[in-house]
Structure 1
Amino acid sequence: MRTRAPRNDAPGGGDAAADRQFIAVLARGLDILRAFSAEDRVLGNQELAERTGLPKATVSRLTYTLTRLGCLSYLPRFAKYQLAIGLVPLGQLALANMTIRQVAAPLMRHLAEETQASVSLGSREGAAMLYIEHFSPRTAVALQLGVGSRLPLGLTAMGRAYYAVAPAAERAELDAVLSQADPDAWPATREGLRKATEMHAALGFTASIGEWNHTVHAAGAAFALPNGGGIVAMNCGAPAFMLSGERILQDIGPRLAAVMRRLQALAGLGR
């Protein structure tokens, strides 16, 4: 079962408890919405409580309120909730405002067809990476992921690439979140992130060879957008039987790094 520690972060990585501008109730409501994913589209109050770390009574009040606001739909047959159509305009507007998606789309489509692998663009959401654009090859078996999918930051090629280019303060914040979320796995995760940071600095890409999912091999790359626009990361991957670890390192990774350099130039960061 997927769980996550309760959020205690204000914008900019500060402590929410010490930030008078931070509205904790609003943050908890957003935590409820973030608990849903493409893989888990219907959740009950108990599941939401486990995933957010919030008391079940608090979750019950939040889901009631979000349902009244049109953000959640209640399914009486299952006694569970799903994201409601009222969120669609907000999501569409957010995606439309991400100019980098339009710039990246033709490069991603070409890379997907050229490599016969899936290519996705993403950004950080908490301790996960959220897909904001995705292309799959037309003629090959593709990974069953798409826009809106969330992947763990610490184990995936995309997440490792994000970490590799993040500022030191953000890395420290992520270290704290990831170590708290799974203390037993943290030593191995930390070592993977350290190696990925060195790899990205040297080669322009990272790799996850079956480390997130033993059936998936992928490369990842990232860069910071100009004018404080955040960090975007891209991955290129496929089922392991189609894409060997050697090809990830010798072919896919370098191709992805070249695409990201091109995208970086188009985004106004130089040639």
Structure 2
Amino acid sequence: MTARLPSPPETVDESPKDEPDRQFATTLASGLDLLLAFRVGEAALGNKDFAERTGLSRPTVARLTHTLTELGYLRHDPALGKYHLGAAVLSTSYSLLAGLHIRQIARPLMKALADRIGAAVSLGLRERTSMVYVETARSTEQIAFTPDIGATLPMLATSMGRAWLCRASAHERDEVLNRIKLADPAAWRRYVPQLPAIRSAFEQRGYCACRAEWRDDVYGFAVPLARALEGRVFVVNCGVPVEGMKFAALESTVAPQLVALVQELETLLGMR
């Protein structure tokens, strides 16, 4: 039985560790933070943008962007004076995606559901304090919400993130919530008090929902797999265009089909 979510923590331990982690490569971490600074829809960033988003000094950013460009992770555009992500970023992620065999198993199930309900169905897992899509299927390219592989979405404001929180171990969950409190205190104050009710609803229904809280044009429903797979909690999410539809009507139609999809996926994965 999954442990019940505790009441929202009143404080977070922000004190430094007694001893620094001598194995932690700060320069490497800073370089990765630069690559993660790009947001969906952004083609290029300059050194000033990197510095503002990472908190690093401009000289440090300049050294890192030069190094990452030499290695192929960034591509410099002289006309703009900015940087694009390089092809090396794709090559590093390919091995991860290719090794996630759940994607191949889940894809036809996801596509069938997407076509039946005219929506987008995605598979995701946690990345730091966000969720990231690792597979997605859409009924049509014309729907307003078109998630794609590699795109991230917030943990607390989405059905996928909430489903992850409901299935994750207490240790993982508390660690993520503490990080969110430090990184995004506004989101923490708004959503964390709702978590006990979200958890209670999940225990009764087997899924989590989002009433257009993240995007005002999409209702979200999400179901986590019954247990971790290779140490990771996967979640199947369904984003349905609002388009004047009543939430209750969509919930009664979509949520049971999503729960059934995950149960079938668990059977194919040998979890049942």
- Post-superposition Cα deviations, 1:201-252, rounded to whole Å, max 9, x if no partner, equal 22111011111111211101112334x4311111111221165311342121
> 1:15, CA displacement in angstroms?
6.6
Alpha carbons of structure 1 residues 144 and 235: separation in structure 2 relative to 1, 3 Å = same
Q: 1:258-269 to 2 correspondence within 5 Å? A: 258-269=260-271
Alpha carbons of structure 1 residues 32 and 105: separation in structure 2 relative to 1, 3 Å = same
* Partner residue in 1 for 2:228: 225
| Contact 1:112/1:136 (<8 A) preserved | yes
> 1:267, CA displacement in angstroms?
1.9
> 1:61, CA displacement in angstroms?
1.5
* Partner residue in 2 for 1:8: none
* Partner residue in 1 for 2:237: 235
The answer to whether structure 1 residue 26 and structure 2 residue 34 are counterparts is no
2:185 is paired with a residue whose SS is: coil
* Partner residue in 1 for 2:45: 43
CA distance in 1, matches of 2:85, 2:17: 29
> 1:139, CA displacement in angstroms?
7.9
Identical aligned pairs, as a percentage? 36
* Partner residue in 1 for 2:5: none
> 1:104, CA displacement in angstroms?
0.7
* Partner residue in 1 for 2:3: none
The answer to whether structure 1 residue 76 and structure 2 residue 46 are counterparts is no
**Which ranges of structure 1 fall in alignment gaps of 5 or more residues?**
1-13
CA distance in 1, matches of 2:32, 2:247: 38
> How big is the alpha-carbon RMSD for the aligned residues of Structure 1 and Structure 2?
2.2
TM-score, scaled to structure 1: 0.87
Q: Which has the higher contact order (CA 8 A, sep 6+)?
A: 2
1:234 is paired with a residue whose SS is: strand
Quick one: which amino acid aligns to residue 100 of structure 1?
I
* Partner residue in 2 for 1:159: 161
2:239 is paired with a residue whose SS is: strand
**Which ranges of structure 2 fall in alignment gaps of 5 or more residues?**
1-15
1:198 equivalent among 197, 200, 203: 200
Higher Cα Rg: structure 1 or 2? 2
When the two structures are aligned, how many residues end up with a matched partner? 256
CA distance in 1, matches of 2:161, 2:19: 27
Quick one: which amino acid aligns to residue 240 of structure 2?
A
1:184 is paired with a residue whose SS is: helix
| Contact 1:109/1:135 (<8 A) preserved | yes
2:157 is paired with a residue whose SS is: coil
| Contact 2:156/2:187 (<8 A) preserved | no
- Post-superposition Cα deviations, 1:154-178, rounded to whole Å, max 9, x if no partner, equal 1111111111111111111111111
